[in-house]
Structure 1
Amino acid sequence: MPTYDYECDACGHEFELFQGINDPVKKKCPECKKNKLRRLFGTGGAIMFKGSGFYQTDYRSESYKKAASNDKQTETKSESKSGDAKSSKSAKSSDSSSSKSSKSKT
C-alpha cells in the first residue's frame, strides 16, 4: 500500500497517510477538523524498493561477471576450433568424391 501526502488549505498542516490505492481520498483535516484537506501529487503511488535484499538479488557481483565473461570466451574459442575441424573434414570429403568421379570417367 502506498503512502500519500496531504495538505490542509485551512491550517497548512501537512502529513503522510498510509492507505490503499482504492481507499477514498480524505477530506477532513486531523488538526483543524475542517473539510479543506487535499491530496498532493507526487511519488505517493510509486513503488519504492528499500533494503539491502533488493540490490543483492537483482545485481550480480563483479566476480560473477568476470567468470561469466571467461566462460563465454572459452565457448567461442572451442566453437571456432570445432568449426575449423568440420570445414577441413568437409573439404577432404569433397576432394575424395571429386577424385572418385574423375577416376570413374576414365
Structure 2
Amino acid sequence: MPLYNYQCDGCGHHLEALQKISEPALVECPACNAQSLRKQVANAGFRLSGNGWYETDFKTGSKKNLAGEKAD
C-alpha cells in the first residue's frame, strides 16, 4: 500500500497515511478536526534507472539466456 503525505490548510499539521489506492483521500485533520486536509505530491521511495529490467538480470548458470536459445 502506498504512503501518502497530507497537510492541513487550517493549522499546518503534517501527517503520513498508509492507504490503498482505491481509498478516498483523507479530509479531516486529526490535530484541529477541520475538514481541510490536502494530499501533497511526494517523491517515490525508490528510483529506477538504466535501460530497464531484463530476463537475465537475476538468473545464473545455464538459465541466463532463455529468450535467445532455440529448442533442440
Query: Same fold judged by TM-score > 0.5?
Result: yes
Q: Which structure would you say has the larger Rg? A: 1
Instruction: Give the ranges of 4+ consecutive aligned residues of structure 1 lying more than 2 Å apart after TM superposition.
Output: none
Unaligned 5+ runs, structure 2: 47-56, 61-72
Going by fraction, where is helix more abundant, 1 or 2? 1
TM value normalised by structure 2: 0.60
TM value normalised by structure 1: 0.42
Q: What is the number of equivalent residue pairs in this alignment?
A: 51
Unaligned 5+ runs, structure 1: 49-57, 65-106
CA contact (8 A) 1:3 1:19 kept: yes
* In 2, Cα distance between equivalents of 1:29 and 1:23: 17
Equivalent pairs: percent with the same residue? Answer: 40
Going by fraction, where is strand more abundant, 1 or 2? 2
Question: Cα deviations across residues 35-89 of structure 1 (Å, max 9, x unaligned)?
Answer: 010000113xx464xxxxxxxxx679xxx8xxxxxxxxxxxxxxxxxxxxxxxxx
